[in-house]
Structure 1
Amino acid sequence: MPEQVSFIKIKGTVDGLSFYTAGGRSIVRRAYGPSKERIANDPKLIRLRENNVEFGGASAMGKALRLGLMVTKLYASSDLPAKVTALMRSVLVLNKGIRGKRNIELSKHKTLLNHLDCNSQTPFTNVVLPSFECSGDRNTASVQYTFRNMNPAADIRPPQGATHFQIFQIATTISDYHYNEPMESYRPINSQLNEAREITNSNAISLSDQSVDVSLVTTIPGITNLPEHVSLVHALAIAFFREDNNVHYKLTSGCAMKVIGVY
């Protein structure tokens, strides 16, 4: 596939050529397919319009999840947006209704999201080896996990140069999405409870420690008794540091994040 090597960065379609970024490279290809005008008006393309609308809804809900988890490039591989959009699309097609207007009801299919790894190149369970206990409480919008008798020297696989690590716990709420007729697009059923979040973290733990217990409780403030159409998503992340003169410098490699529960 041709690669754009000019210092001028172009995005979009120009004179029949499509410019976009993939894997950190600037790519150019010939634009194919019907025009936007034809897609919007041709009766023969009604199925395509329906698919486009539903894809937009799945993409919007996937973005809400990524924002709710506050996933950064340190914790995610480049394929995460597409992977999460596909996951939300799989939730959508399980619902009944008119094509192009079917609700995206994660609340009814929570197990599809459980165990989502944000970084396919660095899976969380390849970095953090021991098992842990986790739970969530919808009445208080809180989540909890506990590692017991962790031996960092044996149970954690750090990147080269790391001396310490931290565990982060994330709780976020994601509303189901429905098709909004006046806006002709998908919107969260409950926008106030969509992407609400809270993050807590452990202290910096030495990788040379022999046995530690790690436990965190994370509560999203101001929320109680979540309605049925809102899911409570629970994730863990790990980051590594190098200690130098009693200062911990965060490393850019080895980080991992995983959804460990949806309640």
Structure 2
Amino acid sequence: MARQSSFLKLEGTIGDITFYKGRTGFKARQKGGVSKDRILKDPKFRRTRENLQEFARAANAAKFLKDAFRGIALKSSDGSLHNRLYSIATKVIYSDTLSNRGERRFELGNIQLMKGFQFSNQSTIENTLFKQPQISDEPDSVTVTIQAMVPATYLRSLVNTTHYRISLIRASINFVDGTYSEESVNSGEIPISMNEQEELALTLPKPSIPDTHHFFAMALEYLQVLENGSKYDLYDLTQNPATILVVS
């Protein structure tokens, strides 16, 4: 560690040397660190290499989930979505009891940990819709049912919103091949009024596809519909909740 003894009090970086002020005066240090080549080859960094491999798999799984649920990501998420998906994907990888350290994989872990994941960090179905959805998870389909209700009473009110829409989305992902598909069904625009809305049931099939996992999510969107029929999304999209209900 070098210490400046002259009257020059430099702060910042020049080339590979960084100047900064410490508790005992102004100091300088040279950029350093372990080289990439050493990390990749040195036996001492075996654990580091194992961690990096699993971190990369978690990042890929998070990307597949975000891309497969792109419709939700555009309507309900905030800037933290990828990081939160990465965090839960890492937990899934660590739950793989079949593989050795460094070889653990998302698809071999406890994917049920994804159940309950919230796409918005600001809003949830539970604090937005005060009618608990009924979930029917059958071998070949998933159905979400919401009992008849008065929207203005059982839906959290937001300024400048006139309608809402509820969707059921299925993301089918093969984490080995890196392929995915998406299918959705929705209620259409429903007025937020004192008029009772009849029971709503949304159903999607559960295809039998080898090496593919299905994630079913429910999303609620707020809208403003003008008298001329023009539709506008909510300005603050973080208030649109969406959550993963079923994982298979």
Alignment TM class, shorter chain as reference = 0.7 to 0.9
Larger gyration radius, structure 1 or structure 2: 2
Listed as ranges, the gaps of 5+ residues in structure 2 are 1-13, 18-29
Q: Quick one: structure 1 residues 99 and 89, their matched pair in 2 at CA, closer, same or farther if it must change by over 3 Å? A: same
Sequence identity (%): 24
Q: Tell me the equivalent position of 2:176.
A: 189
The farther-off stretch of 37-46 and 165-174 is 37-46
Q: Distance in 2 between matches of 1:137 and 1:236?
A: 16
- Whether 1:53 and 2:67 are equivalent positions in the alignment is no
Given the superposition, is the C-alpha separation of residues 145 and 84 from structure 1 closer, same or farther in structure 2, using an over 3 Å criterion?
same
8 Å Cα contact 1:138-1:225 kept in structure 2: no
Give 1:60 deviation, angstroms: 0.3
Are 2:92 and 2:111, in contact at CA under 8 Å, matched by a contact in 1?
no
Distance 2:114 2:127 in 1: 19
Q: Does 1:215 align with 2:206?
A: no
Among 225, 240, 243, the alignment partner of 1:243 is 225
2:102 alignment partner, SS class: coil
The 3-state SS of whatever aligns with 2:73 is: coil
Contact 1:135/1:261 (8 A) holds in 2: no
For structure 1, list consecutive stretches of 5 or more residues without a partner in the other structure: 1-13, 18-29, 176-187
State the 1:246 CA deviation.
3.3
Shift of 1:190: 4.5
The number of residues matched between the two structures is 217
Distance 2:181 2:193 in 1: 36
CA shift in 2, pair 1:143/1:160, >3 Å: same
Per-residue Cα deviation, 1:186-242 (whole angstroms, up to 9, x for no partner): xx3354xx421101211111111432222212247xxx4234x43211101111111
The 5-angstrom pairing of residues 1-263 of structure 1 reads: 33-70=33-70, 71-95=72-96, 96-105=98-107, 109-139=110-140, 142-175=141-174, 188-191=175-178, 194-212=179-197, 213-219=199-205, 224-227=207-210, 229-247=211-229, 248-253=231-236, 254-263=239-248
Instruction: Measure how far apart 1:15 and its partner are.
Output: 6.1
The 2-side partners of 1:33 and 1:256 are apart by 43
Greater relative CO, 1 or 2 (CA 8 Å, sep 6+): 1
Aligned mates of 1:138, 1:230 — CA distance in 2: 14
Deviation at 1:143, TM superposition (A): 2.7
Equivalent residues of 1:202, 1:216 under 8 A apart:
yes
Q: In structure 2, the residue corresponding to 1:261 is in which secondary structure? A: strand
Check whether the contact 1:198–1:219 (CA below 8 A) recurs between aligned residues: no
TM-score of the pair, normalised by structure 1: 0.73
